[in-house]
Amino acid sequence: MANLKFMQPQEVEVLLVLPAIRRELAIEMKNLGLEQKKIAELLSVTEAAVSQYMKSKRAVKIKFSQKALSAIKKSAKKIKDKQMMLSETQALLKLMKQLGITCHSHKELADVSRKCITCFSSEEESCCENKN
């Protein structure tokens, strides 16, 4: 595992944000009537992972805003194959960055300054200033 004191934002995405997105997608897909086996196939995870998502035993450290949850719900309806899953997941990761979720988690986990500018380019507004 990476040194938690000096993590890259992408490591935070992999360790926390992406699993949390998958969890919410799995819940929404279940609400849409998909079977656990199909959800696992679409999300490219094991059935055991989907089961743990449903029982809140995995990927529970991040709480999404209503705006993020709404976007996840819309994405869950669009995902019909792995290519669409990849596309929607990338869009959601970008949104989480824009909403400041990735940045906030990065600051909680890693030894970064409150004035950190790591999560955005010089042409973008700071994700920490652009919440919700």
Question: How far apart (Å, rounded) are the C-alpha atoms in residues 28 and 118?
Answer: 32
Q: What is the dihedral of CA 7, 9, 11, 14, to 10 degrees?
A: 150
| 111 has a pLDDT exceeding 80 | no
Question: How far apart (Å, rounded) are the C-alpha atoms in residues 7 and 120?
Answer: 15
> How many other CB atoms sit within 10 Å of the CB of residue 13?
20
Q: Which amino acid is at 55?
A: K
Tokens of 86: 């990849």
Please write the tens of the pLDDT for every residue from 66-76.
999 999 999 99
Question: How far apart (Å, rounded) are the C-alpha atoms in residues 73 and 62?
Answer: 16
3-state DSSP assignment of residue 100: coil
Confidence band (pLDDT; 50, 70, 90) for 121? very low
Please write the tens of the pLDDT for every residue from 42-65.
999 999 999 999 998 877 778 899
| 16 has a pLDDT exceeding 50 | yes
Q: Note the pTM of the prediction, 2 decimals.
A: 0.80
